[in-house]
Structure formats: C-alpha cells, structure tokens
Amino acid sequence: MSTLRRRIFGSPPPSPSPVPTPTGFNVKDIPEDLKLITTEKLNKLKHGARKGHKRRVSIWFALGGLFGLFIAGFFAQQHDILKFESFLDLNLDSLIDVLPPGLVKDAKALTQHERDAVQYDSFSVGLHLQSQGIKAHHPVIMVPGVISTGLESWGTAESSRQYFRKRLWGSWNMMRALVTDKAGWKRHIMLDKTTGLDPPGIKLRAAQGFDATDFFITGYWIWNKILENLATIGYDPGNAFTASYDWRLSYQNLETRDQYFTRLQHYIEVAVKASGKKTVVLTHSMGSQVFFYFMAWVEAEGHGNGGSEWVDTYIEAWVNISGCLLGALKDLPAVLSGEMKDTAQLNAFAVYGLEKFLSKEERAEIFRAMPGISSMLPKGGDAVWGNRTWAPDDLPGQKASFGTFINFKESNSSTSPKNLTVSESLQYLWDHSDDWYQDQIRHAYSHGVAETTAQIEANMKDERKWVNPLETRLPKAPNLKIYCFYGIGKNTERAYYYREDTDPLSQLNVTIDISMIRGEVMNGVIMGEGDGTVSLLSSGYMCAKGWHIHRYNPANVSVKIFEMPHEPDRFSARGGPNTGDHVDILGRASLNDLILRVAGGHGQDIEENIVSNIKQYSENVKIYEEPEYEPFLLWNNPLEPLESLVQQVQDSFGSANTTT
C-alpha cells in the first residue's frame, strides 16, 4: 500500500526490515558521549524521524491547499463565481470533521511538539514569588499602549448595524471587515478630520475590562501573561483595573468625549479608599505618555482640581514599561508617507499586494486621521536627536551621523534641497500636509524643550505641553517612585532615506527609497539602538538624565532603571521569556518578576541594571541644568564617584567653603 494511502486511511506501516547487529565491538572503544541502544529502539527512532518529516509534509500540503482555496475564493468573488463570505463563516470544528483522522492527529502532535519546544509556564513567575511570601499589596492600575486596546462599534446607523458591539480593531472581525468592506471599515476607524471626534453616524469606543487588552487577536497575547502572574499572587478585578482608552483620540479629546482622565482619577481614588494603600500604575508604550499627561491634568485647576499633593497622596509607584517618553521616530514616516521599516523591507510581491489592498496614501490618511498616534512624534528637536553633523548616540567609526533624520540621495531633489534633522522633518511634515492635520496636531501637542524653571511653571498651565516631559515637570511628589523597565539590543529605526514619489497616481510628495542598500542602510532604513520600536534615547533619556535635572524633577522623585537585553529564544515566535522586544517584553519572565515585586510592596529591593550606553548618550544630549541648580544634578547622580562629586562641588563653590 502506498505511503499516501497509509497517511489518509491510517493503515499500519510495513514492518521494519531487520538490521544486522555489528560484531567485534569492544566496549572500551566507545566514547563517553556515545550512548548504546538496542537495535529495536534504533529502528523506532529512524522510523519516527521519517514519520515526523512526512507529517510536516502532509500538514503543510493540506494547509497549502486550503489557503489556495481561500485565495481562489477571494479573487473569484469579483466575478461572482464563488461567494467569499461563505468562507468567512467556515467553522474550524466542521472543517476538522471532514479531514482524514490521521492528518488531524498529526497536526495535533506537531502543535504539541512546537509548544514543548519552549517550556515557559505563564504562571511560574507568580508561583515563585508566592513561595517567597510576596502577595498582592498595592492596588494595580494598568494603562495599555497604542493600538493594543480593542475598539468596538456602538453605532446604530444602517451602515453600522452589522458591526454592533463587534470589534473593528483587535479581533478577527477587524480582518473580516477590512477584507469584505474596506471602505466601510475606513469610515469607522478614521476620526472626523475637522473635530477629531466621531464622524457623523459612527460610534467606536474602547473595549473595557481585562478583555480589552489581554489579547490583540486570538492567540496573540498582549497583557495576558502579566494578568496571569498578578492573579497568582492574589490580584483579581477587586484590586486590579485596566484603564483602556481610545488611542485614536488626542489627549484633550479623550477627556472631552470619554471623560477618560476624570474616570481614571475616580478609579484610583476608589482603589485607595477601598484598600487603604496607594496604587501602583503600570504603563506600556504610549500609555506612559498618557499617564504623564494625566499627572499634570489631575493636579491642574479647571481640570482634575486635585491640587499639588494629589499624586503624592494616591500614587505609590509608576512602572514605566517601554515608554516612548520622547516619542517614536517611526511615527513620523508613518504619517508622512504611510511607511515604516515593516513596509519598506517587504519583498516585491508583498509590496505589490499591500499597495493594491491598502496603498501608502490610504495608510498615511488613516494615520493622520488618528491624532492620538501623532502624540508620539519625536520630542526635543535637534538637542535630543542631533543636527546635520552630530547625534548623541553616534557610534565611533560610524560613517554617517544619525543627526540627519530624512536623507535624500539626490542632493538636487526638487522635493527637498537638503537633508533634514528631526526638527526640520517635523516642519517638512507640516508644510506637506493638509491644513486640518496641521491644526489638529499643533493645537494638541508640543515638541520643544523648556530651558528654565520659569518656562516649566508657565507650561504647567498649557495642556498642549503636558505630554512632553522636556517642557513640563514631574509632580511635586517626593514619595513617588518611578521604575523604568525597557528592552535594549534590538535594531530600531533611527533615520531614513527618501526620494521623490514619481508615481503619477500618487498624491504623496515623497516615499522611502527602498532601493537604498548600503552599509548600515537597508531598504532606505537606518537602524540604531532600541527595542525594535522605540529608540533607546526615547526610552531611557528622561530616566537616566532628564529627571535628574532640577526643573524637570523639583521634588527629587526617585527614578530607577532596569534594562533588559534582547535575548530571544530561537524556538519561540514571540521571543520567549528573555525577549526585549517592545511588545513581547510584556511576557518576559524578569519583567513580570519586577512588576510583581513593586505591586507586592517590595520595589525597594530592586537594584538598577544599566547595560547600554544610555548614560553616555544622555550626557551628550544638549540639554543642561540651570547654573543655580548644578549641585542638584551632581548629587542626584548615584553612579558618579564620590571623589568626583566633591571635586566638582569644590570647583563650583570654592574649596574654602566645602567640606567632605
């Protein structure tokens, strides 16, 4: 009987042929690392290896056939040959029922093998700390990052009824709507270009509860591993809360439309009243910007009205996970041309398919119609990101500086006569975008640097500045603790090569020059240090240096850094327990350990762990302490040798007036 028939009908394989036993073997001649096994066991191993290979071939052949049928249905629907919607209603259980039992069994065995390859128990961190006596202590509030909160439709207009209470972001319903009703999906997902609020007849709202952020789509976890470990030491909906939000909205409109910051203030106050203990706030990515904005909002008169002591009264610690405090550089090309590394480095076939399905013009339009995303445009200008000849994170021997953010290979380009720094790139974006987008962003955010305490205090009355830690300050909360946990060691977008967009059908002026491949440049993208999404300077500068400058941290709030090198497990699609990736880090074992220690009231036991060059890069940034506060900066740097500090203080005040 053929091998194919045996695979389909489950007939037993032929008996293995006997293998002659070798003679003349001396046991003493066998190396120590060689293990003797019986002939019978050897035959089983050989057969198992062939069987495993055949299983994979059979499974991939079957899945390939199903995928081909799916694609055929997609294209056939344009000619009314097949109804594509019927494929979307296909039930996996019914599909399994009609597949050969042997194939299903092989698929399950292969899946189990892949799971066993990475033995990482999601609850192991919590169980380990539980055995050490760590248990739930402080109430926990979680503020998720950009795009990780599901958005569901609550509109009842005729065009929205089919989507009522279905997620149009963060579920398979999103994929279905995008494929079968792209125009309708775009109308729902984009905000009104004039108001920045819901378009007429459309109503999308952030999903609520733990379900809003635990998984993006089925099988792709976001916060789920943290939730599992928190639950292991005693957390539940009574002492933990997810403060999900509509990440498309500008921060002002989050309060205008959803009263988000008012609700967050009340949740925190109720948690403290119910438990008798201050809260620990966990934030990730854009969520760190949202919470930084909230701390200014909640104390401001006419907004939260909490007064200058509110944060010190209600917040025990802020755990800042992979926070893009100074923005995400990839945000600028996303809104400028609808591109980033993820699109620039696709192969030609994938690029063709993507452009036909959702062109870069459409992507840029969608990104611009989500003002919340533009809150992550880079902050600090040339002082942080460099000029045409220099950048703080330039490496020795580097051929070209990171300081030129947008580069043009053709120096006589009519699109731009010169290469552009970060601050010039922002101006270029304003000059080449519609008035509605400029108005939305300029009225919502600011990207500069405050150089004096007087400027900082004036900015505390301007809500446009509250998202920028270089133009406002931390609250005057001397008992607050800040923990900066972020990944390092993964290539991250740092600069780009652009060219004129010569496509006559394109409405964009420029596009990433994917033909540019030279040295450190790959498909027009220049890589630097970070976590794969956020640059090291954005994640680390404020924690390593900025909040050690008096005007940004007048109450001397404690700030600790714990960097996590990216050491992915090659058998895990998500990097395993030692990943430093921007999103996957939420499942990292050591991060979960640190979070549970802070929440359990043992944050003081955490020691700093700095393994990158962030200290040196931060010293290179051209933002300085005011002369009258220079001793504050010196004594607020715990890594500076004492003798060096004494010498610098003596130089500042004169040795006759200084004692050790």
Catalytic residues: 285, 531, 582
Q: Tokens 């002369």, residue?
A: 627
Question: How far apart, in whole angstroms, are the C-alpha atoms of residue 567 and residue 522?
Answer: 22
Reference 387, options 400, 370, 372, 371; nearest CA is 400
User: Is the CB of residue 385 less than 8 Å from the CB of residue 475?
Assistant: no
Cα separation of 271 and 293, whole Å?
Answer: 20
Instruction: Mention every residue, 6+ apart, whose C-beta is less than 8 A from residue 473.
Output: 456, 460, 551, 552, 553, 554
| Token output for 10 | 């489950």
Return the closest-CA partner of residue 373 out of 332, 430, 431: 332
**Residue 647 and residue 659: Cα distance in Å, rounded?**
11
Q: Which two tokens stand for residue 299?
A: 């104390």
Residue-wise burial string across 551-587, b where 16 or more C-beta atoms lie within 10 A, e elsewhere: bbbbbebbbbbbbbebebeeebebbbbbbbbbbbbbb
Q: By the 8 A CB rule, do 282 and 141 touch? A: yes
- Cα 294 to its chain centre, rounded Å, is 20
What distances in angstroms separate CA 312 from CA 279, 299, 317, 473, one per listed residue? 10, 11, 10, 14
DSSP 94-136: HHHHHS-HHHHHHHHHHHHHHHHHS---TTHHHHHHHHTT---
Contacts of 145 (CB under 8 A, 6+ apart): 247, 283, 284, 285, 286, 287, 322, 583
